[in-house]
Amino acid sequence: MQTNKIAFGGGCHWCTEAVFQSLQGVAEVNQGWVASTDKNSTFSEAVIVHFNPVEINLKDLISIHLATHKSTSNHSMRKKYRSAIYVFSNQQKIESENILTEIQENTASQIITQILPFSEFKPSENQFQNYYKKNPQKPFCKKYILPKLKLISNQFTANAIVKN
């Protein structure tokens, strides 16, 4: 299976990991911290998503990312939780910019999510990998992750995106 990769940051990487693990066409999710370049060279919680573009397209991935974190809120924790799409190529940057422009046209609030070049990745400690899969009954998972999974199940099931 041919896979592409893209990275997303926005909120807690435990939540972001669980969201993307629940999608058809996503082969692997690497949870940890991502750095970009220049003023965004500090590490921020994020995931790298390896996906099959035949099964799930970049627009659906970006739409789900924007719907499952505060992509219009420039809160005080943005250094730790940078709202970003980290791209691995110039083509992916152009495609992501076009998708964000299209989504913004149908969104009342200003999307603050940045498109940044991927620079570096540090994985989370093993004990935090697959956090939701290992701990679905923990209060954190019930309070923060489960509502996101329900949201994408309700909003994206018609597209056959969410795994059964």
Residue 114 CA, chain-centre distance (Å), reads 12
Please answer whether residues 59 and 99 qualify as being in contact, where contact means their C-beta atoms are separated by less than 8 angstroms.
yes
How would you classify the pairing of strands 26-35 and 84-87?
unpaired
34: β partners: 44, 121
Name the pTM for this structure.
0.93
Please tell me the predicted confidence (pLDDT) of residue 37.
96
Label residue 146 by pLDDT band (50, 70, 90): very high
* Rounded Cα distance, 23 and 25, in Å: 6
In CATH, the number for domain 4-159 is 3.30.1060.10
Residue 1 predicted with pLDDT over 80: no
Label residue 2 by pLDDT band (50, 70, 90): confident
* Rounded Cα distance, 115 and 36, in Å: 10
Q: How deeply is 36 buried, as exposed, middle or buried, from its count of CB atoms within 10 A (0-12, 13-18, 19+)?
A: buried
Q: How deeply is 108 buried, as exposed, middle or buried, from its count of CB atoms within 10 A (0-12, 13-18, 19+)?
A: exposed
Label residue 154 by pLDDT band (50, 70, 90): confident
